[in-house]
Structure 1
Amino acid sequence: MSGPMGTQGSSGTNEHETVGAYALGILDDAEATAFEMHLATCEWCAQQLDELAGMEPMLAALADLPGSGTPAIGESLSAKPSPRLVNNLVDEVAERRAMTRRRSFYMVAAAAALIIGGPVVAIATTGDDGGTSTEAHGTSPAKEAFDVMSDRVSGRDASTKVTATVAMEPKAWGTHAVLELKNVTGPEKCSLIAVGKNGERETITSWSVPKWGYGIPNAKTEQAKQPLYVHGGAAFTPEEIERFEVMTFEGKRLVEVAV
């Protein structure tokens, strides 16, 4: 492969040499973007890229073959490059393909977790101060579940002014409970506790309250006016539960809801 015509500086030489790595798809996003800017004004690199266009699929196919990356496979290529070069290129493409497969797996797993859900689900969002909080909005799984569950109990604490409504539904494994919490301020870390008629206590779910709070009637922002919705599960059946308690991590009870 002949070099570009004319005199090039060190920066130009590096950019021209990048065409091979770009053709193989082994540049990161920043490197690829920088080379594409160079490619738009360089006819020589565009010509070399055309010549190399079929190389990445060929190496990708080799990377998937049993015993790929061996000198014997490299020697079977018509161009007959050195075995070490073929070995390195095939290994690099194989590794990048493996990384792509791993990223795809993690994305699918994350999507499945959001779709399937579990006993404890919280929607995380970044607040105005850069912190992370549990988001309360109409599209959250907890809010959607709360809206369709008719078995509800409510309570309000005269001291803290916090109001809570717990919706319940029986499950084969116990009780699915959804909490609607209002007039609570932060910053605070809290838990929803189910207290059984036998005196046992189970933590259903926990969350963080940002400084602006949830369900504040006269709040300045719409975010702070919205109630908090979180849900989780208890091993108790609904008939075995005596009450629910919203507790801070420091042990302060914000509100109690009798069943």
Structure 2
Amino acid sequence: MNARVEHTDVGAYALGLLEDDDRLAFEEHLSLCPACREELTELSGVAIALTGMGPVEEDPPPSHQGEGEVIDLLRRKRAADRRTRRGTFVIGVAAAVTLVAGGLAIGTQLGSGDPGAVIAGEHASHLGPAEQFYADGTPINGTGVGGVTGGLVLESKAWGTHAALKLSGIKGPLECELVAVSKSGERKSMTGWSVPPSGYGVPGAPEPALFMHGGSPWQIDQIDKFEVTTSTGKTLLTVDI
């Protein structure tokens, strides 16, 4: 995955907020990442609901209850992040969209002009989709090497198996992928990503763990194990099922 592309960019892409170079880089990543494609499908309804609510202003007027609260959240994030660095705004907006999609229920009249339209769910989750799915499930712990720890939460789908990965104790820079290994020994990549030099869950890392979605066309009973491997062929984590 391109170093400037993050999985959290899917929210900003859904709203059309990425600049041209970031949009092209993300579209290239999107063609290779089934997890981001699935998340983009889930967020498309949110993007449609927010369409027509007006541009994001630096100094917004007072908002009304409901959809205005969402727009104010995006506006405040933009204003704050402009004072830090350019890239942070995109990630912040993506996080706000994820909050709306994952933790808030948008009323069916949102954007219709109905004064009764509201946003429900005061106690919205602050977790991203992959992290929320992992937190809600029953993790299967894996066996790592060199201080790496992690596990998977699995879900059967009509199309195969959906997995949420948690990975910690890993230093970069690395290119990794989550691989499903069938009972017959066949291997299929479920998703891939890059680990920045700061890593995840190690001293100095900004995040305690990496959370990632992945998908396999095989059903769970066809799979023997999952592996997190590097581009050099090293296995960092094995999850037997």
TM-score (norm 2): 0.49
Q: Which has the larger radius of gyration?
A: 1
More relative contact order in 1 or in 2 (CA 8 Å, sep 6+)? 2
TM-score (norm 1): 0.46
